A and B are shown apart, each in its own frame.
Chain A
């Protein structure tokens, strides 16, 4: 299997611009997670989906952040408008119920907002 695929790997954008991060989970996995990693705050859960339905978005920092999962093989995390403090590595991850609940992470999207 190809693993969790994220795009773009790197993005540099100006403050105020819209940013869209994309994720393709591992085929057959029914959970999808979006995490954010920074030096100051470590790895934080933003939102997770089960069977394409958002279950818990309590980690989403503010209304500028939104996430969708229109089907089982695709999810997006959108930031609009972006701010410099949003600069971080954003990870998508997926897991399958019952298979030891192992979470598989993508390689991350490195976002820099200037």
Chain B
């Protein structure tokens, strides 16, 4: 089983601060995805990273895939209350290249205080 550990598990910060969430594994993934889940809803895909070392930006969110494709980070600049939610990383374990067997991380519950 490819376990994805996320840290921190909970994070509560003031609006305007920066933060980084981590997703780590001992396994190699062909790709890795980040999702945000709001209360009462299903997870929504934010980004997919495929290449080791890849960096993708989505407005104030920056995603990075580790060089060895075993870990990833999500950095949020100037956090807003709308960023509040559960952030999940999900890895696509080798040798799969589709998303049929995604393994989800343990999640980081983020709260942005106005």
Contacts and interface: CB of A to CB of B under 8 A. Distances in A.
Interface in A2-55: 4, 31, 33, 42-45, 48, 50, 55
Given A103-B45, A105-B44, A106-B42, A43 B98 contact: no
Residues of A contacting B: mostly: strand
B43 to A, nearest CB: 5
Contacts, number: 45
A97 interface: yes
Interface in B94-114: 98-102, 104-107
Contacts of B100: 31, 33, 48, 50, 55-56
B88 interface: yes
Contact of A105 (B40, B42, B98, B105): B42
Residues of B contacting A: mostly: loop
Interface residues of A, number: 23
Nearest to B103: A45
Interface residues of B, number: 17
A108 B88 CA distance: 16
B48 interface: yes
Interface string B16-53: 00000000000000000000000011111100100000
Contacts of A57: none
A56 B101 contact: yes
Contacts of A100: 48
A48 B54 CA distance: 29
Contact of A95 (B40, B43, B99): B99
Nearest to B90: A43
A101 B98 contact: yes
B110 to A, nearest CB: 16
Interface of A: 4, 31, 33, 42-45, 48, 50, 55-56, 91, 93, 95, 97, 100-103, 105-108
Interface of B: 40-45, 48, 88, 98-102, 104-107
